Amino acid sequence: MMNMKRAFFTVLLILSIFFFADRAISVIITDSKRLVVENRFSPESKEVKAEKEKLKIELGKRLFFDPMLSKDGKLSCASCHKPNHAFADDKDFSIGINGQKGDRNTPTVFNTANLKFLFWDGRAKSLEEHAIGSIQNPKEMGETVGMVLAKLNKDPYYSKEFKKVFGTSQIMADELLGAIAEFERTLISKDSDYDKYIAGNKKALSQNAKRGMDLFFGKAMCAECHKGPDFTDGDFHNIGLPITEDVGRAKVSVSNKDTRKFKTPTLREVAKTAPYFHNGLFETLEEVITFYNAGGGNDTFKDSLKKPLNLTEQEQRDLINFLKSLSGRQLKIQSPFDKK
């Protein structure tokens, strides 16, 4: 009986130690007039987490615009994903370090937060992978992540800011890529005429745009691939563009059925992101619609859905009016390196 009591009190004592240790507090003197009491074992408050998230996004924004990430110190992510061009490039093929021409057109970063695949061939499965791919591509930024980290760790500003966000003195690759990706996730096209219309403002779209919307979701069959809030199925399609050595998705999947298939781009901000397609083939939406209206081009591997649409000239104009309604009214984003 005595042994059972001792065992009981021993267990009770151990539990008490853990109970009170979990609530142990430390008193930190922050200045001569006030004391801050904090729970040493409690998780960060919502306010602290929110502040760190804000700092992480700002850090990512600076990295996005910083040419330090490239080998020659002249190119940043924003050199190809241009803010004044809806974070896409206005060239058919982007220009990388040493004036090298890239292999494909640079698409917008808007509304990429929820995509399962990045790049035209889908070789990246996250924005973090997308960032490292662009940094290390010899035709783009041409730098190694190791060298980027070495440069950042020597920079007093970045050392201080990374420590604020991540609490570590040594900047690591996952922190670098995570910060860039976190900023990119904030790039959401919103408050477009179309958004206002589906929210209940039936005057937000012109009559032409409304007719175009009906065509988009009906006769023109655009929504077969451009679906959902981001206007993309996230899948890969061959629409019969001119045949080149670029085999698209097939290089990643190593599957013959994916020959010359490329990822469906978002149509958010599409009126501002010319030239169009992975090869920057068309300069205007009019050319794009004419191409689709004809059923696309000729390719043995072309999707079976791509057939002549038989749209009249007026219907084509209406469809373009609807596509223009997908441009948002988000705040203009300026480089932190611009002089104010």
**pTM score:** 0.84
pLDDT band at 331 (very low <50, low <70, confident <90, very high): confident
My answer on whether 63 and 179 are in the same domain is yes
For residue 287, being part of any structural domain is answered with yes
Mean pLDDT (whole number) for 40-59: 80
Burial 191-222 (b: 16+ CB within 10 A, else e): ebbbbbbeeeeeebbeebbbbbbebbeeebbb
The pLDDT tens digits for 86-129 are 999 999 999 999 999 999 999 999 999 999 999 999 999 999 99
My answer on whether 239 and 170 are in the same domain is no
Q: Give the model's pLDDT for residue 55.
A: 96
My answer on whether 52 and 160 are in the same domain is yes
My answer on whether 250 and 301 are in the same domain is yes
Number of domains present in the structure of the chain: 2
My answer on whether 126 and 200 are in the same domain is no
The pLDDT tens digits for 185-243 are 999 999 999 999 999 999 999 999 999 999 999 999 999 999 999 999 999 999 999 99
**Residues whose CB is less than 8 angstroms from the CB of residue 9 and which lie 6 or more positions away in sequence, other chains included:** none
The pLDDT tens digits for 140-193 are 999 999 999 999 999 999 999 999 999 988 999 999 999 999 999 999 999 999
The pLDDT tens digits for 232-283 are 999 999 999 999 999 999 999 999 999 999 999 999 999 999 999 999 999 9
Range of the domain at 222: 193-324
**DSSP secondary structure string for all residues of 199-217:** TT-TTSS-HHHHHHHHHHT
For residue 57, being part of any structural domain is answered with yes
Mean pLDDT (whole number) for 302-318: 95
My answer on whether 71 and 180 are in the same domain is yes
CA nearest neighbour of 110 among 16, 51, 183: 183
For residue 255, being part of any structural domain is answered with yes
For residue 250, being part of any structural domain is answered with yes
My answer on whether 210 and 86 are in the same domain is no
Domain boundary among 157, 184, 211: 184
Q: Kindly report the CATH number assigned to the domain that includes residue 141.
A: 1.10.760.10
My answer on whether 306 and 200 are in the same domain is yes
My answer on whether 54 and 167 are in the same domain is yes
Q: Give the model's pLDDT for residue 314.
A: 98
My answer on whether 179 and 284 are in the same domain is no
Contact 114, 120 (CB under 8 A): no
pLDDT of residue 11 exceeding 70, the answer is no
Q: Give the model's pLDDT for residue 33.
A: 34
**Residues whose CB is less than 8 angstroms from the CB of residue 139 and which lie 6 or more positions away in sequence, other chains included:** 96, 97, 100, 101, 102, 103
My answer on whether 175 and 241 are in the same domain is no
Per-chain mean pLDDT for the chain:
89
For residue 37, being part of any structural domain is answered with no
My answer on whether 158 and 269 are in the same domain is no
- Give the integer Cα–Cα distance in Å for 213 and 194: 9
Domain boundary among 184, 215, 247: 184
